[in-house]
Structure 1
Amino acid sequence: MENLWEFGEFSFDTTKNVKFSVAEDLGDCNGIESLCSNFGFFEDDPSQEEELLLSTNQQKYHHQPYLDYEAFDNFNIDMVHFDEQQCPTRILPFCDRKKDNQYYQPSPLTPVEILKNYGKGFKRLSPDEGKILHPVNDFDLVTDNQNESKLSTGDIMKIAGTRFIQSSSSSESISGLILNHPFGFSFSGLSDEEKEDVSLAESLLACAEKVGYQQFQRARNFLPHISSLSSKTGNPVKRVVHYFAEALFQRIDKETGRVSSNNTQKIETLFDPEEVSKDLNPTLIAFFEELPFVKVSMFTCVQALIENLKDAKKIHVIDLEIRKGLHWTILMQALQSRTECPLELLKITAIATGNTYTSKLIVEDTGKKLEDFAQSLNIPFLFDTIIVSNLSHLREDLFKKDSEETVAVYSQFALRSNIQQSDQLETVMKVVRTINPIVMVVAETEANHNSKSFVNRFIEALFYFSALFDCLEDCMKGDEKNRMIIESLYFSYGIRNILAEGVERKSTDVKIDVWRAFFARFGMVETKLSMKSLYQAELVAKRFPCGNSCTFDMNGHCLLVGWKGTPINSVSVWKFI
């Protein structure tokens, strides 16, 4: 029987956020004002668910001019030239964390230690008299100025978690607590709505505890109360609790035999985010346009590629998950502006899996659009596709290589879908190792959703999705339709997947420390992201209306992109020894 308090694989990290640029210097470079069209790069030379399912399944794929890219994301970029004198490199208070040397075995923490770390409050940045911003404590802001400060969804979950641990501990344990939480057992300083939200979140945690103990009927007794107080249309706390309660209902019903796993799997196959996201629909376009994480990661990755390929005349990039290839339109525009090393060839090899006709059409459509886009920029371009039934069939001889080409590998959220299929992940890395690229750029989800412990996965997922729901609340206020579709389809699916067991879990996420241990087996060494790449990340984030809540942290050489301090994505650069 699983014990709620066995947190051996689970920990919350106190995150420090870092300001990379110097005040307004970079923001004013070349008159950059437009979010959609004026990003630049630093050069080295100075109910709606059914509607969405129907529209997704009935998409028609046909060749359209390259200008179709502008219909959903206008990437006409005015290149920013990096001026070392204008934006000097400074020593900033980066947070370099200690690496864990044991693969999949973080140091165990007690619940009190976990919530002590988390209860300190993640750090936000507050301007002072100088140009570099410094961390401040969230809870200090709440306590000092409650009338003007609204608790985030993550804040509510932190308070609920602390109260739950305190109320579940013995009196002896309580007397020895070192949490020193500003709210403690009381609701002092909270609004009526915040008090309701904290109580609701506590009830959800109590329900998860019972599931962890396999006390399924007792857990089920909590759910009607939770469901009555939560809602798809309430504030972000009520919404995230609603979808977690739904997932718990499903988990309990499968465990107790009320619903068979086969029936559940049939329902899940009607909507698979991994497949849907290979193409674009209006909801995904809205997600990319209004939330900063994807663009920040994308532009940072491309900046890293530009720097590592600065001397290459013939460039061959292998894309492990090309989707619609928006990142390559960005790279093309950056390469077009090169003066000292004119480009002779850009070749992109896209790896695709599956034998479905739709998958083939999507990749071919992407290739045609990229070819048109390259032609419009007068860039010599070749596009190649490798389609295998699954990645375990990937081989080096499938790649068309030229000894004069400089090879790089690009992986944007491509590896996470293969964590459950370790043989496929191993094959990919062995092939990449054999090809021996000059650099491999990786963007991944920064979360630990791979624990064997149900409770650990639940808590990690609760705080991760709380940050995402909070972000949608701030960034998509004027787009309720797409926000609801994202939450009710994409996020709901992700929550159910994380809370499922065994083979029912189709994909998962691990943190950068786990990827480090995995990559090290193939002779890969993490290289430092340049200050230019870090500036690029910040530059992109602050072009979003909600960009001030997008936070950054350095974990070793890796950049963590987060929301109000909660890590969401990671960007890292790797080379082979």
Structure 2
Amino acid sequence: MNPIQTNIRDLPHISHLAKENVESPSPPLTSLGLLKQCGTKLKRFRDEILNKQSSDDTPICTSITCQSLSSDRIMKLAKAQLLQLNSQKADVLSSVKGCFGAQSAGFPSEVAEDLELALLIQAAGEKVANKEFIYARKLLSMCDCSDFKTGRAVQRVVYYFAKALKERIDQEWGIISSDKLEGKMWMPMAEELDRIFLEPAMVACQQELPFCLETQFITTESILENVASAKRIHLIDFEIDNGSQWTLIMQAFAVRYECPLELLKITAVGMCKETMEETGKWLSSFAETINLPFSFKAVVSELKDLKEDFFELEADEVVAIDVAYRLWSLLVRPNYFEVLMAVIKNLKPCIILLKELEVNSNTPNFLERFNGSLFFFTAMFDCTKSCMEHQVLYRKLVEEGHFWGMIRNFITTEGIERALRHETIGFWRALFARFGIVETDLSPTALYQANLSLQSREHFHSCTSVMDGKCLILGWNGIPFQSISAWKFL
């Protein structure tokens, strides 16, 4: 059977069949063994706090809070406490103050407050999933504070998730219509934020976060190794943005004296013609300064409408494709994959680089989606706080202008309106297998260089990188953020 003719109408369900080796960002709710384990860890951590408090004159807020209790750990401890309360059929509203108070647990006031907020928001998510909206509203009222929007990482993530849960409840009660959310997938309402400032904020975020640097190393080296003997190279980019990611590879081609390059072609695929053309002019100018034979083409098209003819392939050129954070956009209508994969196969690429967020926001189960996205954004808010400490204004703009829109779409929408859908590497493996695409090794040189770059920066100490088979999973404090993998057709 031709793999391109495979029926994929049930694609959104693949994620429930494909299993990854990476640890889940949130504990399963039904595991009694995990409940006992987390309860023991919670007690042991409390004992550590009390012992530290009695044996060290150093303020706990600096010696324990900052070094030992990251935002994601706070969420995990709160989840363990919630599991205990659920097993005891205890009332969260009346129990929350006793769980983490200074007298009962020995936590510093700021840590206790964050633990209480983390417990409240996770309990509220459970109540919304069970359609216990009145109780959920009471829980949310206890974590309703406008100051949280600019506070600590846990406060900020709770602020946005509480806001999204309230919108979902209002929709269920008919107070607001889901139609009002249509089109607001990740951008905020115009009156909330001047979008002119969002673009430089996003650029600053990309420059400061460790993942962008690491993926750029890996993409560049993996392509270079696969086109080492080619003289005419065609790079196809499905998300070219400002094009800065290609400057490294262009410089490498410019000094490849043992096999001089005859022509480097870059084709950008996207919907914003003006932006792509501006990027093309800039890249062309850069190529001229380094004496690199270069041509650029912009293809204005949605992925589902791509055709082979758009790319003007030549017989003697070698094709490499970079698919960065675009395939998720087809998950809302998975039958479009068949069309896209047929086009990609006809392009005969020597390598395909895939980069996607490593979070399952595609599951139809609301509570699974809520828990997964809560842990994902908790780590993300912690990461931006650590890595953008000198770019506070830009960090706030990214959180309000980009992250809030994603959270809103994950939590408040269902069906076709939930356009932001992401999957983990297990899903992409199962999908690509249907089309005869196999995973191949990433560049060992790139992986080594990327690891060195992480070790050389002090504020990247919480960044984690784990190999899942041949795929690299990047995360923060062990919470997966994104994956990068390389693929070839059989």
TM-score (norm 2): 0.83
Task: Structure 1 unaligned segments of length 5 or more: list them.
Answer: 1-6, 17-107, 122-136, 172-182, 354-358
Q: Aligned with 2:394: secondary structure?
A: helix
| Counterpart contact for 1:209–1:455, Cα < 8 Å | yes
Counterpart of 1:571?
484
Counterpart of 2:404?
492
Once the 2 structures are TM-superposed, how far is the Cα of residue 143 of structure 1 from its aligned partner? 9.2
Q: Using the alignment, how far apart are the partners of 2:243 and 2:275 within structure 1?
A: 11
1:168 alignment partner, one of 72, 80, 86? 86
Q: Which amino acid aligns with 2:325?
A: F
Q: Aligned with 1:384: secondary structure?
A: strand
Q: Using the alignment, how far apart are the partners of 2:37 and 2:265 within structure 1?
A: 47
Q: Using the alignment, how far apart are the partners of 1:12 and 1:115 within structure 2?
A: 22
Counterpart of 1:352?
270
Q: Aligned with 2:181: secondary structure?
A: helix
Counterpart of 1:45?
none
Counterpart of 1:515?
428
Q: Which amino acid aligns with 1:302?
A: T
Q: Which amino acid aligns with 1:211?
A: V
| Counterpart contact for 2:361–2:420, Cα < 8 Å | no
| Counterpart contact for 1:299–1:537, Cα < 8 Å | yes
Q: Using the alignment, how far apart are the partners of 2:37 and 2:416 within structure 1?
A: 33
The residue correspondences of 1:7-22 to structure 2 (distance < 5 A) are 15=23
1:154 alignment partner, one of 68, 72, 75? 72
Counterpart of 1:200?
117
Q: Using the alignment, how far apart are the partners of 2:486 and 2:442 within structure 1?
A: 7
Q: Aligned with 1:552: secondary structure?
A: strand
Identity within the alignment, %: 39
Structure 1 residues 141 and 531, CA, compared in 2 at 3 Å: closer, same or farther?
Answer: farther
Counterpart of 2:465?
552
Q: Aligned with 1:441: secondary structure?
A: strand
Q: Aligned with 2:240: secondary structure?
A: coil
> RMSD between aligned alpha carbons?
3.3
Q: Which amino acid aligns with 1:232?
A: K
The answer to whether residue 447 in structure 2 is matched with residue 529 in structure 1 is no
1:447 alignment partner, one of 343, 359, 363? 359
| Counterpart contact for 2:273–2:298, Cα < 8 Å | no
Counterpart of 1:301?
219
Over residues 522-556 of structure 1, what are the superposed CA-to-partner deviations in whole Å (9 max), with x where a residue is unaligned? 11110122321211221332454412221110101
Moved more, 221-230 or 310-319: 221-230
The residue correspondences of 1:426-437 to structure 2 (distance < 5 A) are 426-437=338-349
The answer to whether residue 142 in structure 2 is matched with residue 225 in structure 1 is yes
The answer to whether residue 286 in structure 2 is matched with residue 373 in structure 1 is yes
1:251 alignment partner, one of 150, 168, 174? 168
Over residues 334-363 of structure 1, what are the superposed CA-to-partner deviations in whole Å (9 max), with x where a residue is unaligned? 22232322211111111123xxxxx21111
The answer to whether residue 23 in structure 2 is matched with residue 110 in structure 1 is no
Structure 1 residues 272 and 370, CA, compared in 2 at 3 Å: closer, same or farther?
Answer: farther
Counterpart of 1:393?
305
Q: Which amino acid aligns with 1:505?
A: R
Q: Aligned with 2:164: secondary structure?
A: helix
| Counterpart contact for 2:235–2:322, Cα < 8 Å | yes
Structure 1 residues 12 and 162, CA, compared in 2 at 3 Å: closer, same or farther?
Answer: farther
Q: Using the alignment, how far apart are the partners of 2:236 and 2:197 within structure 1?
A: 19
Whose helix proportion is higher, 1 or 2? 2
Counterpart of 1:28?
none
Q: Which amino acid aligns with 2:426?
A: D
Over residues 438-481 of structure 1, what are the superposed CA-to-partner deviations in whole Å (9 max), with x where a residue is unaligned? 11011111111111111000000010000011011111222221
Q: Using the alignment, how far apart are the partners of 1:285 and 1:542 within structure 2?
A: 23
Structure 1 residues 395 and 187, CA, compared in 2 at 3 Å: closer, same or farther?
Answer: farther
Counterpart of 1:127?
none
| Counterpart contact for 1:119–1:158, Cα < 8 Å | no
Instruction: State the aligned residue count.
Output: 445
Structure 1 residues 470 and 269, CA, compared in 2 at 3 Å: closer, same or farther?
Answer: closer
The answer to whether residue 231 in structure 2 is matched with residue 313 in structure 1 is yes
Structure 1 residues 239 and 332, CA, compared in 2 at 3 Å: closer, same or farther?
Answer: same
Q: Aligned with 1:281: secondary structure?
A: helix
Task: Structure 2 unaligned segments of length 5 or more: list them.
Answer: 1-14, 54-59, 90-99
Counterpart of 1:409?
321
Once the 2 structures are TM-superposed, how far is the Cα of residue 432 of structure 1 from its aligned partner? 0.5
Counterpart of 1:216?
133
